[in-house]
């Protein structure tokens, strides 16, 4: 939600900030803005509604804004509609927020997150003569900093500190103070922020892709810490204002990985990167042909002591959890419960101290997943995070971390991260099953063999994409789609349905095939598209029967199954085949045509598939 960038150094700031914002646009795209300072001159603020392109045009690609220090923002609205007035940066002065140009303000800032008590703070500030031009919580926090800064005649670090203890919520802030040219101040609580330094230049951003072209050497600023960023140097402070030392981390992601590289959209590029993402994640978990969880710190004794597993996550990561439940229970024979993080965090949870809580998250910053992790930790439960972004908050706070190796995922709709998360689950399931004696050596080796064959099988599916592309264009105007499947096929259906609706805006539902006749079948009428997922041999006939029940009521049937199951063509109007693999791992193959279906449906409808309306890549607010 919202992207923040900052730069101070020897080059012109605006083009660097616009470049960074372009790489963060997946975090928010309803408006954008820049504040640039040229030496001791006042900050120049420019804002614009809509996609970043309009800000780029308005500033002549940044050339119209001179200055070597600045902050920028791309917004995903929380408080107040998308408008120029509500767009960031916000300023402490009593001016009209929509105005652009030089602003007479002590403090200028951008913000990602939500300030929960902003109305109460706004009232307080109003009583002290502050006027508000926007509906945002950000303007309130900028003015509160200004209030403390002036009232106590203290420095920026102390003014920010006083503010942090008054605000409730989640935030990442980047601020410039009129009396401190060339400096940017940053603070965060439960929202991401990284700071990179290279030579005489310093950068800050909400996410790694924004600064990958400039530096790979970054600091992960901690919760409730403040950074003072100067050209080529950075200092960190705690809530007492004492300086603290942070370690630098080297980012190993390839800058090219965050570019489209000739693909029309990031989403299709990332779909095509799945064989590599799966291979890399697998390679990170295999050592001499055996699964090794050593990097996670989960040793054999710990794994053996686990009596049950609970998985919490949101969106597609929750769908991985749904698949994991079938796989872990079947292979390792450990009871598994899967919960939406947003539900888990607010309910009374009964757990025993031998439970393992697994939090799955691509970004490692999803607010509900982070809150669920913290709740588990507060209850004394051992936690394992399956995360893609190195150094993210969930990764840093969990007891154990299993990193997926999908590389930067830019498209809002997840594809390669989902596929990498599945690999993490497979390895965990096979290793636990072996350690607990649920499978013998022969089966263990068979599963590893099957796992290593997945990347090539995914490549083969991608080579046959035309068929699903054609079908997606034909059905891109469907009114409703129902995805049905049983067992693991139900978990796959959930992901297929989400891909369809989030990218193409076609209403879709996923149903456990046997559940349809308990109500939902009343929605089936002529030409409604029903997509049956049939990768599980034992459940094949059952799902075919449920599909036939839909066809009898007028539905048009698409079947998704593996090569060899040709009898499905007796019922289905259109069939897509994927290679065979061990049934536990079929989600990795069956999901690919469904991702392609969602993608090509969106493209056929002329939609911006990388940035679907109302969505943002990392949901760092509740």
Active site residues per annotation: 2, 617
Least separation in angstroms between residue 594's CB and ligand M6R is 12
Q: Judged by CB, which is closer to ligand M6R: 281, or 414? A: 414
Distances (CA, A) of 142 to 107, 121, 185, 207, 323: 7, 11, 12, 22, 45
The stretch among 277-285, 295-303, 360-368, 555-563 that binds ligand M6R (CB under 6 A) is: 360-368
Cβ proximity to ligand M6R: between 280 and 495 the closer is: 495
Among 291, 314, 578, 590, binds ligand M6R (CB under 6 A): 314
Q: How far apart are CA 530 and CA 558, in angstroms?
A: 6
Least distance in Å: CB of 1 to ligand M6R?
10
**Cα within 13 Å of Cα(573), Cβ side:** 15
Using a 10 angstrom Cβ sphere, with 0-12 exposed, 13-18 middle and 19 or more buried, the burial of residue 564 is exposed
Residues 490-549, interacting with ligand M6R (CB under 6 A): 498, 502
Residues 202, 316, 420, 504: which binds ligand M6R (CB under 6 A)? 316
Query: Using CB under 6 A as the criterion, what x/- string covers residues 270-309 for binding ligand M6R?
Result: ----------------------------------------
Query: Does 112 sit near ligand M6R (CB under 6 A)?
Result: no
Query: Among candidates 24, 366, 413, which has minimal Cα distance to 194?
Result: 24
Region 54-93 residues binding ligand M6R, contact defined as CB under 6 A = none
317 near ligand M6R, judged by CB under 6 A = yes
Rank residues 163 and 316 by Cβ distance to ligand M6R and give the closer one.
316
Element spanning 201, H or E: strand 201-205
Sign of dihedral through CA atoms 426, 430, 435, 436?
positive
- Measured from the CB atom, is 369 or 497 closer to ligand M6R? 369
Is 414 a residue that touches ligand M6R (CB under 6 A)?
A: yes
Q: State in angstroms the smallest separation of the CB of 358 from ligand M6R.
A: 13
- In whole angstroms, give the CA distance from residue 89 to residue 103: 11
> Across the strands, what pairs with 577?
561
Is residue 406 close enough to count as binding ligand M6R by CB under 6 A?
no
Minimum CB separation of residue 341 from ligand M6R in Å reads: 8
Residue 440 token pair: 């013998």
CB 616 within 8 A of CB 502: no
Please state whether the peptide bond connecting residue 352 to the residue before it is cis, i.e. omega within 30 degrees of 0.
Answer: no
Q: Which stretch binds ligand M6R (CB under 6 A): 173-181, 190-198, 313-321, 350-358?
A: 313-321
For residue 140 the two structure tokens come to: 């309130």
CB of residue 319 to ligand M6R, shortest distance in Å: 8
CA distance 398 to 390: 12
Binding of ligand M6R by 401 (CB under 6 A):
no
**DSSP 3-state of 402:** strand
Q: Is the torsion defined by CA of 362, 366, 252, 610 positive or negative?
A: positive
Best CA proximity match to 517, nearest among 537, 542, 491 = 542
Helix (H, G, I), strand (E, B) or coil at 562: strand
Q: In angstroms, what is the minimal distance from the CB of 315 to ligand M6R?
A: 2
123-152: contacts with ligand M6R (CB under 6 A) = none
Q: What six digits make up the tokens of 227?
A: 């950074």
Query: Whose Cβ is closer to ligand M6R: residue 134's or residue 415's?
Result: 415
Under rule CB under 6 A, which residues in 237-266 are in contact with ligand M6R? none
Report in angstroms how near the CB of residue 314 gets to ligand M6R at its nearest. 4
Given the complex with ligand M6R, which of 191 and 314 has the nearer CB atom?
Answer: 314
Residue closest to ligand M6R, measured at CB? 315
Q: Which two tokens stand for residue 513?
A: 């095939």
Q: Which of 46, 257, 412, 530 binds ligand M6R (CB under 6 A)?
A: 412
Site for ligand M6R contains 618 (CB under 6 A): yes
Number of residues that bind ligand M6R (CB under 6 A): 16
In the complex, what is the shortest distance from the CB of residue 488 to ligand M6R, in angstroms, rounded to a whole number?
A: 19
Q: Is 244 helix (H, G, I), strand (E, B) or coil?
A: strand
Residues 39, 207 contacting (CB under 8 angstroms)? no
Tell me how far apart the alpha carbons of residues 229 and 524 are, in angstroms, rounded to a whole number: 59
Q: How do 336-340 and 308-313 pair as beta strands?
A: parallel
Phi, psi torsion values for 105, nearest 5 degrees: -140, 145
Our finding on whether 366 is near ligand M6R (CB under 6 A) is yes
Distances, alpha carbon 518 to alpha carbons 194, 306, 350, 512, 515, in Å: 50, 37, 30, 11, 6
- Chain centroid to CA 262: how far? 23
Q: For residues 429 and 443, is the Cβ–Cβ distance under 8 A?
A: no
- Can you tell me which of 271, 371, 406, 413 binds ligand M6R, judged by CB under 6 A? 413
Is 361 a binder of ligand M6R (CB under 6 A)? yes
Closest distance of CB 282 from ligand M6R, Å: 19
Residue 206 touching ligand M6R (CB under 6 A): no
Residue with Cβ nearer ligand M6R (69 or 616)? 616
Binding stretches for ligand M6R (CB under 6 A): 314-317, 361-363, 366, 369, 412-414, 498, 502, 618-619
């Amino acid at each position: 939600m919202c992207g923040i960038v900052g730069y101070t150094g020897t080059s012109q700031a605006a083009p660097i900030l616009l470049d960074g914002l372009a790489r963060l646009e997946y975090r928010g795209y309803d408006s954008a803005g820049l504040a640039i300072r040229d030496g001791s001159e006042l900050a120049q603020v420019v804002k614009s509604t809509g996609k970043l392109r309009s800000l780029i045009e308005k500033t002549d690609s940044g050339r119209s804004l001179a200055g070597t220090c600045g902050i920028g923002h791309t917004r995903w609205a929380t408080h107040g509609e998308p408008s120029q007035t509500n767009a960031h940066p916000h300023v402490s002065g009593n001016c009209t927020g929509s105005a652009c140009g030089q602003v007479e303000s002590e403090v200028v800032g951008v913000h990602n997150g939500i300030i929960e008590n902003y109305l109460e703070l706004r009232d307080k500030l109003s009583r002290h003569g502050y006027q508000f031009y926007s509906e945002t919580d950000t303007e309130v926090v900028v003015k509160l900093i200004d209030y403390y800064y002036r009232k106590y005649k203290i420095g920026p670090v102390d003014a920010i500190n006083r503010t942090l203890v008054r605000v409730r919520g989640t935030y990442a802030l980047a601020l410039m103070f009129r009396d401190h040219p060339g400096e940017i101040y940053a603070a965060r609580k439960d929202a991401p922020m990284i700071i990179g330094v290279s030579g005489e230049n310093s950068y800050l951003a909400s996410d790694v892709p924004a600064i990958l072209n400039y530096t790979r050497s970054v600091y992960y600023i901690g919760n409730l810490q403040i950074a003072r960023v100067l050209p080529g140097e950075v200092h960190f402070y705690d809530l007492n204002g004492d300086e603290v030392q942070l370690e630098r981390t080297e980012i190993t992601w390839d800058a090219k990985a965050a570019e489209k590289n000739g693909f029309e959209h990031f989403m299709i590029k990332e779909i095509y990167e799945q064989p590599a993402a799966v291979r890399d994640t697998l390679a990170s978990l295999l050592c001499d042909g055996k699964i090794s969880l050593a990097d996670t710190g989960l040793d054999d004794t710990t794994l053996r002591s686990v009596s049950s597993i609970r998985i919490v996550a949101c969106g597609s990561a929750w769908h991985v959890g749904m698949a994991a439940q079938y796989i872990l229970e079947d292979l390792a024979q450990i009871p598994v419960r899967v919960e939406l993080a947003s539900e888990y965090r607010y309910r009374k949870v009964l757990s025993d101290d031998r439970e393992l809580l697994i939090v799955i998250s691509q970004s490692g910053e999803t607010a509900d997943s982070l809150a669920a992790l913290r709740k588990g930790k507060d209850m004394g439960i051992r936690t394992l995070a399956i995360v893609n972004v190195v150094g993210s908050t969930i990764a840093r706070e969990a007891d154990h971390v299993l990193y997926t190796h999908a590389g930067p995922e830019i498209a809002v709709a997840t594809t390669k991260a989902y596929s990498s998360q599945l690999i993490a689950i497979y390895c965990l399931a096979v290793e636990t099953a072996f350690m607990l004696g649920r499978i013998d050596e022969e089966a263990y080796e068979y599963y590893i063999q099957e796992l290593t064959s997945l990347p090539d099988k995914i490549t083969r599916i991608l080579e046959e994409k035309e068929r699903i592309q054609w079908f997606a264009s034909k059905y891109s105007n469907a009114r409703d789609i129902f995805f049905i499947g049983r067992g693991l096929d139900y978990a796959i259906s959930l992901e297929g349905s989400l891909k369809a609706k989030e990218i193409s805006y076609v209403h879709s539902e996923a149903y456990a095939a046997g559940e349809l006749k308990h109500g939902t079948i009343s929605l089936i009428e002529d030409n409604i598209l029903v997509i049956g997922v049939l990768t599980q041999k034992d459940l094949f006939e059952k799902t075919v029967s449920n599909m036939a029940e839909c066809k009898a009521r007028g539905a048009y049937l698409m079947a998704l199954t593996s090569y060899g199951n040709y009898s499905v063509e007796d019922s289905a109007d259109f069939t897509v085949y994927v290679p065979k693999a061990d049934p536990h791992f079929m989600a990795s193959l069956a999901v690919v045509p469904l991702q392609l279906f969602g993608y090509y449906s969106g493209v056929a409808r002329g939609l911006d598939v990388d940035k679907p309306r109302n969505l943002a890549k990392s949901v760092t607010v509740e």
